């Protein structure tokens, strides 16, 4: 008997061990090495499993799921689930709340609603009874947010989460978008701002090489991005804090190099410099640690402007 037929007989009998294979072959008068027949049976089983395994359809031919069925939920629910994951990724500062954060993403006109509450049952031990801050937030985005915003690379522009973006026109190499975005406030506060984004995409995926400006209207956005492109470096060098740590950088310096108001407020609140924003100035020594955590090309340009001004005095 050929070894293939003997292996098929072993598979039909459900034999999977060497001892059982020897007994089966001896009982049927088959004079073949049990180890070789069992190895052939294992190979045949593997080939059969591969042959009958469902093949994944080509990309774009049909949705993939168990048995070739659609994933669970309606198309709207699947789109919302994908947008929910992407938007939550850009709201990490809310998820840091000690008492937790309950964030709801829904479809609708763009809006942001954030409320905080105090919970005294979070801490234990010697800190028992201390107040912990929790966040309840609701963010709504248009139903086509995924294609209108995310696939255009506008999910975050200069660190600001974009809720809606509609392309207006292209002026030279600058794209103008009528948009709404989320601007961070003090603590866990946030608000929605509506205006125009002027954007020149970077040559790579690096956000540092991208140049953008948020403004109230198209004219202001074009003026702002022109100022920003004229005096900012191509990569993020460190601030000269060791030699010029005493130099004071004012809001006027930051605005003069092209930083937008939304970007200024969002950056200051994100790095914990809300007090410096209130008083309108900070030293280079105060800015250096924050800049290291969250580099901003406009801040670097403003610091160098303040340093040059101090040297001229």
User: Taking the domains of the chain in order of start, what are their residue ranges?
Assistant: 3-52, 75-230, 241-312
pLDDT tens digits for range 291-308: 888 888 788 888 888 888
Band of the pLDDT at 208, cuts 50, 70, 90? very low
* Averaged pLDDT for residues 59-69: 49
Residues 6+ apart with CB under 8 A from 150: 83, 86
Distance CA 31, CA 29 (A): 6
- The conformation of residue 67, written as its DSSP 8-state character, comes to G
Give the pTM: 0.59
* Averaged pLDDT for residues 149-171: 89
Tokens describing residue 138: 């609701």
Band of the pLDDT at 313, cuts 50, 70, 90? low
pLDDT tens digits for range 227-277: 877 765 545 577 888 888 888 999 888 888 888 888 888 888 888 888 888
Task: Check: CB of residue 298 under 8 Å from CB of residue 251.
Answer: no
Return the ∠ at Cα 43 (arms to 42 and 47), rounded to 5°.
120
Helices 18-27, 34-52: crossing angle, 10 deg rounding? 110
* Averaged pLDDT for residues 208-230: 82
pLDDT of residue 8: 83
* Residue 53 in this model has a pLDDT that exceeds 90: no
Return the HEC string of 238-260.
CCCHHHHCCCEEEHHHHHHCCCC
pLDDT of residue 197: 93
Instruction: For the chain, give the mean pLDDT.
Output: 81
User: Is the Cα dihedral 269, 273, 279, 283 positive or negative?
Assistant: negative
Tell which residue, 79, 85, 84, 87, has the closest CA to residue 63.
79
Band of the pLDDT at 68, cuts 50, 70, 90? low
Name which of 87-91, 118-122, 145-149 the model is least confident about: 87-91
**Segment holding 79, helix H or strand E:** helix 75-89
Tokens describing residue 226: 């022109």
**Higher-scoring residue by pLDDT: 181, 186:** 181
Distance CA 156, CA 148 (A): 13
């Amino acid at each position: 008997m050929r070894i293939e037929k003997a292996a098929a007989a072993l598979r039909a009998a459900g034999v999977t061990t060497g001892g059982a294979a020897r007994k089966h072959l001896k009982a049927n008068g088959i004079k073949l090495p049990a180890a070789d027949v069992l190895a052939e049976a294992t190979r045949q089983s593997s080939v059969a499993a591969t042959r009958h395994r469902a093949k994944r359809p080509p990309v774009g031919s049909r949705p993939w799921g168990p048995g070739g069925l659609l994933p669970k939920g309606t198309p709207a629910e699947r789109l919302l689930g994908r947008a929910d994951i992407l938007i939550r990724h850009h709201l990490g500062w809310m998820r840091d709340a000690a008492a937790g954060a309950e964030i709801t993403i829904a479809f609708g006109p763009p809006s942001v609603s954030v409320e905080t509450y105090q919970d005294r049952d979070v801490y234990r031990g010697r800190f028992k009874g201390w107040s912990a801050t929790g966040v309840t937030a609701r963010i709504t985005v248009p139903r086509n947010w995924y294609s209108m915003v995310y696939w255009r690379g506008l999910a975050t522009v200069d660190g600001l989460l974009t809720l809606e973006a509609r392309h207006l026109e292209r002026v030279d190499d600058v794209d103008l978008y009528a948009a709404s975005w989320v601007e961070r406030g003090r603590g866990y506060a946030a608000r929605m701002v509506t205006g125009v984004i002027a954007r020149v995409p970077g040559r790579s995926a690096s956000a540092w090489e991208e140049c953008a400006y948020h403004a109230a209207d198209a004219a202001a956005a074009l003026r702002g991005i022109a100022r920003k492109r004229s005096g900012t470096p191509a990569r993020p060098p460190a601030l000269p804090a060791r030699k010029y740590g005493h130099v004071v950088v004012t809001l006027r310096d930051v605005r003069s190099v092209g930083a937008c108001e939304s970007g200024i407020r969002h950056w200051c609140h994100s790095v914990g410099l809300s007090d410096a924003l209130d008083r309108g100035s900070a030293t280079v020594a105060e800015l250096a640690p924050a800049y290291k955590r969250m580099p901003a090309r406009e801040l670097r340009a403003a610091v160098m402007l303040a340093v040059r001004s101090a040297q001229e005095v």
